[in-house]
């Protein structure tokens, strides 16, 4: 596997790490997401990249993005991931502004199953937010971007690295206290609030005010939320980690009494929104600020000519990975796009 094995089609994501492309494998025409990362040089960045690779290699779940291959060149790392044409939950929220309680319940339930798989595998996600919740062609949830995830932390054990996205970080992280898996539940509570109201519960004119609000501010519960929903949300956004609800307790909570968890686990429940796709290459569910970019821009302008290397004395030696065979193309119903 090498960069020249892929034809770049569209940019579908970008960050400080590099870019994510919709790409086509030349040998079989399969669409994939190709994440191209400039090799980090700082020790902590190398560790984050290693953690992401380990999570993608070892934790398998229908609610987690799957990695097919991982390889490197002299200055870049390449992750070959499944292409999720439904785009980000963030984009859906931008279109809908807010979701009703039933739709919110579905997404929170599927994310709960994703977190349960991670926690059972001794992984703390640490970066749950709408941007990292992807939707597959049928509208089911898949978590992605495990660069901040912490592996080898069994339930009940703690870690202490300061990281995450501020609006979704639990208060104990800002207190520089050791924390555990419950920070992911806090983040899910914030995402739930975000879906119901159109924005997170904590705000500030600057970072200091935001942190103060997260640690001490009053949370105004959505007025249109059911009593069971309010009880659940208060248990998720609880400033005392030991009193925060767990994934197992969430599955038994009255708010989810209408959810058949066995059927949900097998994705036998229809999502509230099915992505409107004209064909398998449709990228309309991704932000236009990404899809309008040229797919040949830096940092991967040499993506079709650069040769892979493998040197034992480099920090990324032994990173090459051939995982699951790339799945057959997903059948997508041809629809006429709405103007919405």
Q: What is the pLDDT of residues 95-145, one digit of tens each?
A: 999 999 999 999 999 999 999 999 999 999 999 999 999 999 999 999 999
Q: What is the mean pLDDT of residues 170-189?
A: 97
Instruction: Tell me what percent of the residues of the chain surpass a pLDDT of 70.
Output: 87
Q: What is the mean pLDDT of residues 56-81?
A: 93
> Would you call 127 a catalytic residue per the annotation?
yes
DSSP designation for 124:
B
Mean pLDDT of 230-236: 98
pLDDT in tens, 186-201: 999 999 999 999 999 9
Half-sphere exposure of 36 (CA within 13 A, CB side): 30
pLDDT value, residue 38: 87
Say which residue, 338 or 244, is predicted with more confidence: 244
pLDDT value at residue 217: 94
DSSP per-residue letters across 139-199: S-EEE---TT-B-S--TT--B----S-GGG--HHHHTT--B-THHHHHHHHHHHHHHHHSS
Is 35 part of any known ligand binding site? Answer: yes
In a 10 Å sphere around its CB, with 0-12 CB exposed, 13-18 middle and 19+ buried, how is residue 41 labelled? exposed
Average confidence (pLDDT) over 208-228 = 95
Crossing angle for the helix pair 89-96 and 182-197, nearest 10 degrees?
30
Please check whether residue 191 is in contact with residue 128, taking contact to mean a CB–CB distance below 8 angstroms. Answer: yes
Q: Give pLDDT, residue 323.
A: 58
Catalytic residue among 28, 50, 75, 127: 127
The domains of the chain, with CATH numbers, are 3-85+277-322 (3.30.200.20), 89-265 (1.10.510.10)
Q: What is the mean pLDDT of the chain?
A: 87
């Amino acid at each position: 596997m090498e960069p020249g094995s892929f034809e770049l089609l569209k940019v579908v994501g970008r960050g400080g790490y590099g870019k994510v492309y919709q790409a086509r494998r030349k040998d079989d025409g399969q669409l994939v997401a190709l994440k191209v990362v400039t090799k980090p040089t700082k020790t902590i960045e190398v560790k984050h990249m290693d953690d992401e690779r380990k999570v993608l290699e070892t934790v398998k779940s229908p609610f987690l993005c799957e990695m097919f291959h991982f390889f490197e060149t002299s200055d870049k790392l390449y992750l070959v991931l499944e292409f999720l044409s439904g785009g980000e939950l963030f984009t859906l929220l931008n279109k809908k502004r807010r979701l009703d309680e039933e739709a919110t319940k579905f997404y929170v339930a599927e994310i709960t199953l994703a977190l349960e798989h991670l926690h059972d595998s001794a992984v703390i996600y640490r970066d749950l937010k709408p941007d990292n919740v992807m939707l597959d062609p049928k509208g089911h949830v898949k978590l992605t971007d495990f660069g901040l995830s912490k592996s080898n932390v069994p339930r009940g054990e703690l870690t202490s690295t300061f990281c995450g996205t501020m609006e979704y970080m639990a208060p104990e992280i800002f207190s520089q206290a050791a924390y555990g898996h419950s920070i992911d539940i806090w983040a899910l509570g914030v995402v739930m609030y975000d879906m119901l109201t159109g924005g997170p519960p904590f705000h500030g004119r600057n970072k200091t005010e935001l942190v103060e609000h997260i640690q001490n501010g009053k949370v105004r519960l959505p007025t249109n939320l059911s009593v069971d929903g309010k009880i659940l949300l208060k248990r998720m956004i609880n400033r005392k980690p030991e009193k925060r609800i767990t994934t197992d307790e969430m599955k038994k909570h009255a708010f989810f009494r209408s959810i058949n968890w066995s059927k949900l686990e097998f994705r036998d429940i229809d999502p509230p929104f099915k992505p409107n796709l004209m064909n398998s290459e449709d990228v309309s569910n991704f932000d236009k600020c990404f899809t309008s970019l040229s797919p040949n821009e830096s940092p991967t302008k040499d993506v079709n000519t650069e040769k892979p290397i493998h040197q034992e004395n480099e920090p990324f030696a032994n990173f090459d990975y051939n995982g699951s065979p790339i799945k057959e193309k997903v059948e997508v119903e041809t629809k006429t796009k709405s103007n919405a």
